[in-house]
């Protein structure tokens, strides 16, 4: 494990026919991105070259599940351009058991861990949160008593009203994840509703009490699995403007539905801002100055991730890249972000 607060792992999405613009080093640590303008080498903790879902979980997920079982927070962030494989890495493609992602494998691993430790009583709860345009929604809002409207943050960065149902078996947890995904899909299909360009956070809250030592402390920990929104540049996603783009003042203020282009531009702006704040938080956490300010409250994403980054929390950033030539500029910016 590196000494930086975030361990960085690169994962490529296999392409048919290959590409000549990205070379993954045989040392399992380097990536070289070659375009007409430049050729740049980056180095990371690990480069997963053509890795299966199983290997990705063994490399990233399983050690973090162990960490959480021992009472320490752990986080996986999947970052990358749209279509690079973030959801595939985190959840899988839903088509077959072998291609299931880190989340279902982590649930299985943690419930197995609970069964293997009868000396402890574990209480597990699951939360599923979506952050779209810096607004937060409960993906389990269809459960009885849950809040369907936008959620707010308390002064201590707790998400007020986020449902945290208890899960007592792996099957129950899978059912809730399925419900969260179904709710997200419904929102995406509603007219003018949230698009797929949102951050989704699955959080498993773990409480451990000793059954043999009644004076023993209750240990609390959290596994956070974040499937971040696609990081592509504005021009690429069909929007206009650049990072300094300001949405028209009429946007969402007049009750008139925004045009598709306005919506895409606003989404891209919010995503870029939140990812750049995330980067600033990680850089601040990695800085040598112990008293340096960490701008957790700069966005909803960084506020919610407050206890999931830094401190003694173990965090892995998986930067998903596409190695086909047409995506070379996006791959370059993902690699640059991951290296920073």
Ligand X SMILES: Nc1ncnc2c1ncn2[C@@H]1O[C@H](COP(=O)(O)OP(=O)(O)OP(=O)(O)O)[C@@H](O)[C@H]1O
Among 84, 106, 200, 204, contact with ligand X (rule: CB under 6 A): 84
Is position 320 an interface residue for ligand X (rule: CB under 6 A)? yes
Q: Residue 258, interface with ligand X (CB under 6 A)?
A: no
CB 92 within 8 A of CB 333: no
Distance in Å, CB of 99 to ligand X, minimum: 7
- Do 74 and 173 contact (CB within 8 A), yes or no? no
| Residue at shortest CB range from ligand X | 85
Question: Do residues 305 and 284 make contact, with C-beta atoms less than 8 angstroms apart?
Answer: no
Give CA 191 to chain center in angstroms.
26
| Options 61-69, 84-92, 212-220, 306-314: segment touching ligand X (CB under 6 A) | 84-92
Determine if 19 is a binding residue for ligand X (CB under 6 A).
no
User: Strand, coil or helix: what is 229?
Assistant: coil
**Binding to ligand X by residue 86, rule CB under 6 A?**
yes
Cα separation, 175 vs 319, in Å, equals 28
Q: How many residues bind ligand X (CB under 6 A)?
A: 14
Nearest distance in Å: CB 93, ligand X: 4
Residue 13 binds ligand X (CB under 6 A): yes
The closest of 292, 272, 270, 265 to 281, measured between CA atoms, is 292
21 binds ligand X (CB under 6 A): no
Q: Give long-range contacts, CB 8 A cutoff, 24+ apart: 29-36.
A: 31/321, 31/335, 33/328, 33/331, 33/332, 33/335, 34/328, 35/328, 35/329, 35/332
Give the interface segment with ligand X, choosing from 75-83, 108-116, 217-225, 296-304 (CB under 6 A): 75-83
The helix/strand count (H/E) of the chain reads as: 8, 13
Q: Which is nearer to ligand X, 97 or 290 (CB)?
A: 97
Q: Which stretch, 86-94, 251-259, 269-277, 289-297, contacts ligand X (CB under 6 A)?
A: 86-94
Work out whether 104 is an interface residue with ligand X (CB under 6 A).
no
Site for ligand X contains 85 (CB under 6 A) = yes
Q: Assign 116 to helix, strand or coil.
A: coil
Asked if residue 43 binds ligand X (CB under 6 A), the reply is no
Instruction: Answer yes or no: is 80 a known binding residue.
Output: yes
A 10 A CB-CB count for 122 gives 17
User: Should residue 322 be labelled a site residue for ligand X when binding is judged by CB under 6 A?
Assistant: no
Taking the complex as a whole, the smallest distance from the CB of residue 18 to ligand X amounts, in Å, to: 14
Q: Is residue 88 close enough to count as binding ligand X by CB under 6 A?
A: yes
Q: Which of residues 271-290 bind ligand X (CB under 6 A)?
A: none
Instruction: Rule CB under 6 A: say whether 80 interacts with ligand X.
Output: yes
Q: Is 49 helix (H, G, I), strand (E, B) or coil?
A: coil
Q: What are φ and ψ of residue 119, in 5° steps?
A: -75, -10
Using CA atoms, how far apart are residues 278 and 281, in angstroms rounded to an integer?
5
Residue 154: CB minimum distance to ligand X, A? 29
Residue list, annotated binding site for ATP: 80-87
Which residue ranges are tagged as binding site? 80-87
Which residues here bind ligand X, judged by CB under 6 A? 13-14, 80, 82-88, 93, 196, 230, 320
């Amino acid at each position: 494990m590196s000494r930086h607060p975030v361990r960085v792992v690169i994962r490529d999405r296999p392409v048919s026919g290959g590409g000549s613009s990205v070379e993954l080093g045989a040392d399992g640590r380097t990536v070289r991105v070659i375009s007409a303008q430049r050729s740049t080498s980056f180095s990371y903790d690990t480069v997963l070259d053509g890795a299966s879902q199983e290997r990705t979980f063994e490399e990233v997920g399983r050690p973090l599940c162990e960490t959480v079982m021992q009472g320490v927070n752990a986080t996986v962030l999947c970052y990358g351009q749209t279509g690079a494989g973030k959801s595939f890495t985190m959840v899988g493609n839903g088509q077959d058991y072998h291609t299931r992602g880190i989340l279902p494998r982590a649930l299985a691993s943690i419930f197995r861990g609970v069964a293997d430790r009868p000396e402890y009583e574990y209480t597990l709860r699951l939360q599923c949160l979506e952050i779209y345009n810096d607004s937060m929604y409960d993906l389990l809002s269809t459960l009885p008593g849950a809040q369907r409207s936008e959620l707010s943050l308390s002064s201590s960065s707790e998400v007020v009203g986020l449902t945290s149902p208890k899960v007592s078996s792996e099957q129950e947890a899978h059912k809730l994840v399925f419900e969260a995904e179904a709710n997200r899909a419904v929102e995406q299909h509603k007219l003018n509703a949230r698009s797929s360009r949102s951050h989704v956070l699955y959080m498993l809250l773990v409480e451990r009490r000793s059954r043999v030592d009644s004076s023993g402390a209750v240990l609390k920990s959290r596994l956070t699995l974040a499937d971040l929104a696609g990081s592509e540049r504005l021009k690429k996603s069909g929007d206009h403007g650049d990072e300094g783009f300001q949405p028209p003042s009429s946007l969402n203020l007049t009750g008139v539905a925004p045009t598709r282009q306005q919506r895409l531009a606003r989404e891209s702006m919010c995503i870029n801002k939140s990812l750049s704040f995330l980067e600033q938080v990680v850089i601040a956490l990695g800085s040598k100055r112990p008293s340096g300010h960490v701008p957790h409250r700069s966005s909803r994403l960084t506020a919610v991730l407050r206890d999931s980054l830094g401190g003694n929390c173990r965090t892995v950033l998986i930067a998903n890249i596409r190695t086909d030539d047409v995506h070379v500029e996006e791959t370059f910016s993902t690699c640059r972000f991951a290296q920073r």
